[in-house]
Amino acid sequence: MKKMIELIPAIDLIDGKCVRLTKGDYDKKTVYNEDPVAQAREFERLGFHRLHVVDLDGAKSKHVVNDHVLRAITEATDLVVDFGGGIKTEEDLEKAFRAGASMVTVGSIAVTHPDLFLSWIDKYGADKFILGADVRNGKISINGWKEDSQEDLLPFLRRYIDHGVCNVLCTEISKDGTLSGPATELYRRIMAAYPQLHLIASGGVASTEDITALDAAGIPAVVFGKAYYEGRIDTNRLLPRGLAKRIIPCLDVKDGETVKGTNFVNLRSAGDPVELGKAYSDAGADELVFLDITASFEGRKTFTEMVERVAREINIPFTVGGGINELKDVERLLHAGADKVSVNSAALRHPQLIDEITNKFGSQVCVCAIDARLDDDGWHCYVKGGRERTERGLFEWAKEVADRGAGEILFTSMNHDGTKNGFANEALAQLSDELPIPIIASGGAGTREHFRDVFVKGKADAALAASVFHFGEISIQDLKTYLRQEGINIRL
């Protein structure tokens, strides 16, 4: 059976931020995420196993700069990480390996100092290196694409293939960051000449279809960045075994304590949010959601301090919501340690807030919460903690949310909230069928079977619950073991 193309998302680093350039031009820079570690965690959650990290500061300055970011990524995830950019000396190599790189990409040195690169291959082994072949007008480019050498591509590759190198990353510079499609014919010529290569195609990928076309052309691997960050790649189609379903405890916080009610009323205390957050992280929860359900202006400082304390205690993705009305609220919570933010009422009042968040921080940061109730005239969205009905219908609003670039939808059925009678599976299945982004189900969890049904019948990507976890009615590990036995793809 033909092996599927290897999928390698990329994080390019400038000033410790996740960016993309266009055709290698440092003046044409777009920041997609200010937290590369959070971005790496998101790639891992989606089901990717490998990551390509490029130190653009290092490439420009000719020595490794962002090894501290590399270390943070490798310590926070189990991803296999390739690292390149600024590898000019053996000290740079050692920095990268000490920071957790599984392989390093070497390009310029292989052109300017071939004997030095060959000595590294002899010392560390060819399997520790990816040969970087950045091509412009048929010639190898060096030093962060600022200079063109006189090296022709195929003879350049042959020199190092003969010394055992089998991993080659080839970037067609004219394509990079342009979303104009990959240089498929170039990659075909390379594979025809050297069929033993593990060739990694890079540059120009604009869509899921581009990746499937590279796969059909027999290209072993592909790196992509901008197409993913701009929502052009459907990970569900590319990862055929499907994403692991997620179990997410939710902590509604009021006046510094966790509370839980029924149908959004009759609140009772459920414990200290920091202690609960740590307990859930230790127990194997996939993510946490914290919602400041009153979000009064006076309480924001206290809530932000609580977010900081929670972030120090946990090692799983962390979504925070409540009182987010503008970008400075998002910045405040991300700075405090949140990986994502949840917006609800403010997004309904000002839908462009979704665009603003995704444009500045990336789609993966924006979770749009939708509280809806099935009334006599259909599903309607509610705001202000479920106290005020709007005229927006659930499904048309959810479609707009996805179109504006939100990374996920957290749908709470107000009819089911706190009842422990099961999730709103029919509505969830419709959302899942109609929308291209993940759906988190909320409202109604009471038994392990309800979680099974929400994944099978409701087609949800994640299930959020509160009281069954807070009051010890269901343990997360028991639930996950049960779901795995029921054939659900779940992380144990």
Q: Which residues are annotated as catalytic?
A: 252, 371
Q: What is the helix (H) or strand (E) element at residue 409, kind and residue range?
A: strand 408-413
> Where does residue 150 rank: exposed (0-12), middle (13-18), buried (19+ CB within 10 A)?
exposed
Question: Taking each helix axis from N to C terminus, what angle separates 300-313 and 327-336, rounded to the nearest 10 degrees?
Answer: 40
- 31-to-38, 89, 101, 226 alpha-carbon distances in Å: 14, 29, 23, 10
Helix (H, G, I), strand (E, B) or coil at 28: strand
Of 244, 250, 236, nearest to 342 by C-alpha is 250
Q: How many CB atoms lie within 10 A of CB 6?
A: 16
- Cα Rg of the chain (Å, integer): 24
Q: How far apart are CA 149 and CA 473, in angstroms?
A: 66
DSSP secondary structure letters along 127-181? GGEEEEEEEETTEEEETTTTEEEEEEHHHHHHHHHTTT--EEEEEETTTTTS-S-
Q: How far apart are CA 118 and CA 308, in angstroms?
A: 48
Q: Are 282 and 313 in contact (CB under 8 A)?
A: no
438: tokens are 């993940």
